[in-house]
Amino acid sequence: MTADAASESNDTSRGASEAPRLVGLSTAPLAVAPIRIGLGLLGLAGAGLRGLSWGVAGAEFALGTAVFAFAALADPRRRFFRLKDEEAEPAPADATFEPLGRVALLATYPSTLGLAALTGVSLGFNTALAAVLAGGAAGLGVAGAITGALIAMGERAEGVRLYVERGGRRLFVREAIRETT
């Protein structure tokens, strides 16, 4: 076998093992939303238990929630959430789909874990800041829930599921399976 033939053989076998790993476009924001909201509520409880009055803690939390949710929903980088299924290529038959738990875990990095760490650190020296940051985590959860729900409603209306390649920017579409009752 020549070197070129061996190279082509390796390329073919490598290509076969590189099926895209897909994540439902609505799955990640919906999967991580309860985690973000839960961590936010834990931070709020921490601020209250560390001595910040519950009224002030609630107000600071609400401020953080509103500001972070608005910022996340207004972010111009949300390009994928405005894509139409016509811009997507058909999902390959050999595509693999990431499990929900892994999708949720990967979606927590870096923003959710970073905010949780900053909230934890700030509980030691500024409980009002901790309440705002906790609200920020919850705000990201609210924004994720809204975004995921909007995408899911659009998918349902069109009878499709949209997927994004994990770690990539390619968008894929697959006809939704409808159950009859």
- Would you call 56 helix, strand, or coil by DSSP? helix
pLDDT value at residue 38: 98
**Mean pLDDT value across residues 42-56:** 97
Q: Other C-beta atoms within 10 Å of 151: how many?
A: 22
| Residue 178 pLDDT level (bands cut at 50, 70, 90) | low
* More confident position, 29 or 4: 29
Whose tokens are 């839960």? That residue is 38
pLDDT value at residue 36: 97
Contact (CB, 8 A) for 146 and 73 = yes
Peptide bond into 90 cis (omega under 30): no
Does pLDDT of 3 surpass 60? no
Give exposure, 60-78, as e/b (b: 16+ Cβ within 10 Å). Answer: bbbbbbeebbeebbeeeee
**Mean pLDDT value across residues 20-26:** 92
- Would you call 87 helix, strand, or coil by DSSP? helix
Please write the tens of the pLDDT for every residue from 79-105: 555 555 457 899 999 999 999 999 999
pLDDT value at residue 2: 42
171 closest CA partner among 83, 94, 102, 101: 83
Does pLDDT of 9 surpass 50? no
pLDDT value at residue 17: 52
| Residue 7 pLDDT level (bands cut at 50, 70, 90) | very low
**Mean pLDDT value across residues 114-134:** 97
pLDDT value at residue 18: 79
19 Cα distance to chain centroid = 22
Please write the tens of the pLDDT for every residue from 129-169: 999 999 999 999 999 999 999 999 999 999 999 999 988 77
Spatial strand order in the sheet of 160-165: 89-90, 171-175, 160-165, 21-24, 96-97
Please, which residues bridge with residue 160 across strands? 175
pLDDT value at residue 141: 97
| Residue 179 pLDDT level (bands cut at 50, 70, 90) | low
Phi and psi angles of residue 155, each rounded to the nearest 5 degrees, phi first: -60, -45
pLDDT value at residue 177: 78
